[in-house]
Amino acid sequence: MDIPIIQLINVVEKELSQLPIGLQEHIYRTRILSRKIAESHGAETEKCDLGASAHDIARHWTENKLITEARRLGLDITEVENDEPLLLHGPIGAHWLRNKLDCSDLEIVSAVNYHTTGRPEMSQVEKIVFIADKIEPQKIKKYPELGSIMDIVMDDLDGAILRYLALRIRSILANEGVVHPRALETWNWLILKRSSCQ
Ligand SMILES: [Fe+2]
Ligand SMILES: [Fe+2]
């Protein structure tokens, strides 16, 4: 039997109380914003809330712990994750939500899994969790250039994600860093989707 989302949120909240306080606060802000964005787009607020609650459950783990756990679970570890093990906190959180908490809603599991990079064909719930994580108020305070995304996110979800990806990818390129292929695929998918609608 499917466990009601509200019940899952309660279980996740118990886990959240064990996390470092700064991370708890980020997750709280992400949850509030994801609910607001969901409301403005007529999306399912509870689903977005659960995704936002669980998205960073493993964000405080050390790189060693992330790699060891990802190997143990048989998760996909490409060269990119090997170079930046922090990227594994989404897939590990998703695995926890699906297998430990028995969350059968794969849209929410996917929202947690891909919250760092996005993915082509991402659903509305996935998009909302993705962008709420990136532009919660503290992030805008730290990176004011993200403020222009807040101006459009309540009307244009895809446009907001494109604007975020453009800023992020540009900054990685400027620093000669590695762009996750999935972030580029997400960019291409949204651009092609947009041009086919025009
Ligand atoms: Fe994260
Ligand atoms: Fe986050």
- Kindly write down the DSSP assignment for every residue of 90-127, as one continuous string: HHHHHHIIIIIS----HHHHHHHHTTTT--TT--HHHH
Sketch the domain layout of the chain as residue ranges.
Answer: 5-197
- Tell me the CA–centroid distance for residue 13 and ligand 2, in Å: 15
- Tell me the CA–centroid distance for residue 165 and ligand 1, in Å: 15
What is the pTM for the complete model shown?
Answer: 0.97
pLDDT at 102: 97
- Tell me the CA–centroid distance for residue 196 and ligand 1, in Å: 31
- Tell me the CA–centroid distance for residue 17 and ligand 1, in Å: 17
Nearest ligand, measured from the Cα of 27: 2
Neighbours of 129 (CB within 10 A): 34
Nearest ligand, measured from the Cα of 58: 1
pLDDT at 196: 86
Looking at residue 87, what DSSP letter applies?
A: G
Give DSSP secondary structure letters for 134-153.
Answer: HHSHHHHHH-GGGHHHHHHH
pLDDT at 72: 98
Which CA distances in Å does 174 have to 8, 11, 170, 182?
41, 41, 6, 19
Sign of CA dihedral 187, 143, 127, 73: positive
pLDDT in tens, the chain (198 residues): 799 999 999 999 999 999 999 999 999 999 999 999 999 999 999 999 999 999 999 999 999 999 999 999 999 999 999 999 999 999 999 999 999 999 999 999 999 999 999 999 999 999 999 999 999 999 999 999 999 999 999 999 999 999 999 999 999 999 999 999 999 999 999 999 998 877
- Tell me the CA–centroid distance for residue 168 and ligand 2, in Å: 15
- Tell me the CA–centroid distance for residue 20 and ligand 1, in Å: 14
pLDDT at 64: 98
For residue 87, the Cα-to-chain-centroid distance in whole angstroms is 11
Class of domain 5-197 as given by CATH: mainly alpha
